[in-house]
Amino acid sequence: MKLVWKLLRQHISIPQFLGFFFANLVGVVIILLGVQFYNDIQAVYNGEDSFMKADYLIVNKKIGAMNTIAGKSNAFTDGEIDEFKSQGFVEKLGAFTPSSFDVRASFNIEGFTNFSTDMFFESVPDEFVDVASDEWKYDEGSTDIPIILPKNYLDLYNFGYAQGKGLPKLSEGILGAMKLKVRIAGNGKQGDFDGKIVGFSSRLNTILVPESFMQWANKEYSNGISSKEPTRLIMEVDNPTDDAITSYLQDNNYETDEDKLDASKTTFMLRVIVSIVMAIGLVISILSFYILMLSVFLLVQKNSSKLENLLLIGYSPAKVSMPYQALTVGLNVLVLILALVILFAVRSIYLGMFESFFPDLVAPSVLPSIIVGVVLLIVVSIFNIIAVHNKVMSIWKRKD
Amino acid sequence: MEKIQLKHTLPNVFMARADIHSDIWLQEVEFEKDKLYLVEANSGTGKSSLCSFIYGYRQDYQGEILFDEQSTRNFSVKQWVDIRKKHFSLLWQELRMFPELTAMENVEIKNKLTGMMGFQKKKTIVEWFEQLGIADKMDSKMGKMSFGQQQRVALIRSLCQPFDFIFVDEPISHLDDTNSEIMGRLLTAEAKRQGAGIIATSIGKHIELNYDKVFRL
């Protein structure tokens, strides 16, 4: 093969291949950077609430003075929910299920204080909760319940209560390691449970438990007083900038937290911009792919008599194609490696900037961009291999 | 492979011609392994076409060409590669050498195709170079050599593979009688060693061998 390569490397144009190399490098870097930047920025937006994606909206009915006086319920009826679901902008819709039993939680910080408070639980369908599924589940008969608390509660304690009483401040991490004693009563029964705080949410002003627990507990301890109809809905929309959402909510006298809708709009716009940038990267890559193909075709053309002679003295088309295939695939691999190096370098710069704004930020994995890069490499390489093979076959068939 | 058969074969370009008087075109011809054939021709009677049809790199003919009773019309790429590697050797009239490589490299690129260490021993190849009087040219670039010298290298290359038939298309067009004679000796010796048939062509001066049959194309 050494001699074959010595023959076939004749007429290789270094400038052409350098041109391809840098053009493709720019394209691949833009694509990978787009993917990575989007992931990272997504983490920044969702970072304040890792349990709820930014594009989930929580909807409730407006509570006005008239409602209270008229005794009108602020719960959603089944008909209203069905109508809501049928709206074009709704991707997923879920209801909050309230607890219909008494909950009393106590919380003991050894040697300092002992809280005890009445409270309530709510649940949403598990698909809306972004916690590892093995953490977010309840097995019947177990006394452990995973709980998500509103972040406000922690702030109230840390900046209000603990400050005033000289108690130690608690971090999310410390609380996560502690157990909340939960006593549930109703229907003439009572039970003790250990609440395990799996996280804090700034989006949800409620105490969230897994839906499976809620269903079981409501059946077991329900006193049959409270209504089963939900008062709040959670939904995922395909496009938060859609005006139809705002007008539908207004028309039906529903409300949602406006700033969340804004945040959703921001991420949506970001997604659009990143998609455009990635599309540009893709176009550059495709063009560079053309440069490569043109140079390889030119090379095959210039060396066609050598290729033909090799085929005639008994070299198989596969063997003759191999050097050029290896050359193109090698270049692609080199481009990917260099692109990843550049990606990591650029990323470490912007992550440094992010960190000064969002100290808690956990940078997401780089795996998605590596996968995108590798998939791109494989697809482009397959095209290269097929193109070179076809070109050699046309020499075999003496079509040119 | 034991035999090559041509059945009513005719190049497409000759189709319009009415007056074809040939021992090969439009006839039934058989070439057997282990025998020596000479195909004599005038220019333009399709001598090189014959080689390219049998060697499988042109298909623009009518009739049939069969190897061991099997029609070659629909041979796959793989089959042809196998034939060129192990069954047929062809010394082209236009040589088809690589001018960028040295004489030795031109031989090696073929020799290494069959067998990791090469089909012929390096020592044998060097001996052939010596016998043909071009030992001093072994490391010269092919492009710098005269046609007659290149012809001799091409012969060496054509002997560096296993074959059942060897085709030599005007092998001595640029050689003097002494070299032609040496060439004939090397060719028959190697063909005999491999038990192969020789099919030589010429348009006048032909390589002197003990031909079993002479065709007029």
| pLDDT surpassing 70 at residue B183 | yes
**What value does the mean pLDDT take over residues B168-193?**
93
Partner-chain contact A314 B110, CB within 8 Å:
yes
Confidence (pLDDT) at B141: 95
Looking up tokens 């003075």 gives A65
Contacts within 8 Å (CB) and 24+ apart, A227-231: A227/A73, A227/A75, A228/A97, A228/A100, A229/A73, A229/A75, A229/A76, A229/A77, A229/A78, A230/A75, A230/A76, A230/A81, A230/A95, A230/A96, A230/A97, A230/A98, A231/A60, A231/A61, A231/A74, A231/A75, A231/A76, A231/A96, A231/A98
| Chosen domain end from A187, A206, A222 | A222
* Least CB–CB distance from A314: residue in B81, B92, B100: B81
Give exposure, A137-165, as e/b (b: 16+ Cβ within 10 Å): bbeeeeeebbbbbbbeebeebeeeebeee
* Least CB–CB distance from B98: residue in A309, A317, A393: A309
Residue A186 CB contacts under 8 Å (≥ 6 apart), including other chains: A100, A101, A102, A221, A222, A223
Q: Which residues of B touch A306 (CB under 8 A)?
A: 98, 100
Instruction: Kindly report the CATH number assigned to the domain that includes residue B36.
Output: 3.40.50.300
Domain ranges, residue A200: 99-222
Residue A316 CB contacts under 8 Å (≥ 6 apart), including other chains: B77, B78, B81
| pLDDT surpassing 60 at residue B33 | yes
Q: What are phi and psi of B71, to 5 degrees?
A: -65, 140
* Least CB–CB distance from B81: residue in A3, A4, A316: A316
Residue A341 lies in a domain: yes
Q: What is the DSSP letter of B18?
A: S
| pLDDT surpassing 60 at residue B46 | yes
Question: Do A93 and A85 touch, CB atoms closer than 8 A?
Answer: yes
Confidence (pLDDT) at A71: 62
Confidence (pLDDT) at A241: 73
Confidence (pLDDT) at A225: 61
Q: Which residues of A touch B100 (CB under 8 A)?
A: 6-7, 10, 306
**Mean predicted lDDT score pLDDT of chain B:** 92
Helix and strand tally (H, E) in chain A? 13, 11
Structure-token pair, residue A91: 């991707």
Domain ranges, residue B30: 3-216
A2 CB neighbour count, 10 Å cutoff: 10
Residue A357 lies in a domain: yes
Q: Report the run of H or E that residue B22 belongs to, with start and end.
A: none
The string of pLDDT tens digits covering residues B138-157 is 999 999 999 999 999 999 99
Q: Please give the model's pTM, rounded to 2 decimal places.
A: 0.70
Partner-chain contact B77 A317, CB within 8 Å:
yes
Identity (one letter) of the amino acid at B135?
A: A
For A119, the 3-state DSSP assignment is strand
Q: Which residues of B touch A303 (CB under 8 A)?
A: none
How far does the CA of residue B167 sit from the closest CA of chain A (Å)?
13
Q: Which residues of A touch B77 (CB under 8 A)?
A: 316-317, 393, 396
* Least CB–CB distance from A314: residue in B98, B108, B161: B161
Looking up tokens 């088309």 gives A317
* Least CB–CB distance from B84: residue in A10, A314, A398: A314
Question: Do A22 and A259 touch, CB atoms closer than 8 A?
Answer: no
Partner-chain contact B113 A315, CB within 8 Å:
yes
The span from the CA of B114 to the CA of A345, in Å, is 49
Are A335 and A392 found together in one domain?
yes
Give the angle subtended at the CA of A175 by the CAs of A264 and A204, to the nearest 5°.
Answer: 25
Confidence (pLDDT) at A29: 93
Q: How many domains does chain B have?
A: 1
Please report the DSSP string for A243-271 in residue order: HHHHHHHHHTTEEE-HHHHHHHHHHHHHH
Q: How many domains does chain A have?
A: 2
Is ipTM over 0.90? yes
| Chosen domain end from A202, A222, A242 | A222
Are A216 and A290 found together in one domain?
no
Residue A371 CB contacts under 8 Å (≥ 6 apart), including other chains: none
A257 CB neighbour count, 10 Å cutoff: 14
| pLDDT surpassing 80 at residue B132 | yes
Q: List per-residue pLDDT tens for chain A, 400 residues long.
A: 788 999 998 888 899 889 889 999 999 999 999 889 888 877 776 655 556 665 678 888 887 766 666 666 778 888 888 888 888 888 888 888 888 888 888 877 666 667 788 888 888 888 888 776 677 888 888 888 888 888 788 788 788 877 777 777 777 777 777 778 888 888 888 888 888 888 777 777 788 888 888 888 888 888 766 556 788 888 888 777 777 888 888 888 888 876 666 767 777 888 888 889 989 988 998 998 888 888 888 989 999 999 999 999 999 999 999 999 999 999 999 999 999 999 999 999 988 887 777 666 677 888 989 999 999 999 999 999 999 999 999 999 876 4
Are A328 and A213 found together in one domain?
no
Q: Which residues of B touch A312 (CB under 8 A)?
A: 55, 57, 84, 90, 92, 96
The span from the CA of A310 to the CA of A316, in Å, is 8
| Chosen domain end from A187, A222, A257 | A222
**Nearest-CA neighbor of B100 among B145, B133, B130?**
B145
Partner-chain contact B84 A313, CB within 8 Å:
yes
Residue A62 lies in a domain: no
Which residues on neighbouring strands pair with residue A56, listed in sequence order? A236
**Nearest-CA neighbor of B10 among B34, B45, B38, B55?**
B45
The span from the CA of B103 to the CA of B97, in Å, is 9
Confidence (pLDDT) at A359: 65
Are A218 and A272 found together in one domain?
no
Partner-chain contact B100 A315, CB within 8 Å:
no
Residue A274 lies in a domain: yes
**What value does the mean pLDDT take over residues B116-121?**
86
* Least CB–CB distance from B109: residue in A3, A317, A396: A3
Confidence (pLDDT) at B159: 95
Are A217 and A269 found together in one domain?
no
The span from the CA of A212 to the CA of B143, in Å, is 84
B105 CB neighbour count, 10 Å cutoff: 18
Residue A385 lies in a domain: yes
The span from the CA of A204 to the CA of A207, in Å, is 8
Mutate to test the interface with A, among B79, B82, B98, B119 (most CBs of A within 10 A): B98
Are A285 and A205 found together in one domain?
no
Residue A217 lies in a domain: yes
Are A200 and A272 found together in one domain?
no
Chain-centre distance of CA B100, in angstroms? 23
Binding-site residues on chain B for chain A (CB distance < 8 A): 55, 57-58, 77-78, 81, 84-85, 90, 92, 96-98, 100-101, 105, 108-110, 112-114, 157, 161
Confidence (pLDDT) at B198: 95
Give the angle subtended at the CA of A221 by the CAs of A218 and A226, to the nearest 5°.
Answer: 60
Are A106 and A217 found together in one domain?
yes
Partner-chain contact B112 A3, CB within 8 Å:
yes
Q: What's the burial of B204, exposed, middle or buried (CB within 10 Å: 0-12/13-18/19+)? A: exposed
**What value does the mean pLDDT take over residues B32-40?**
93
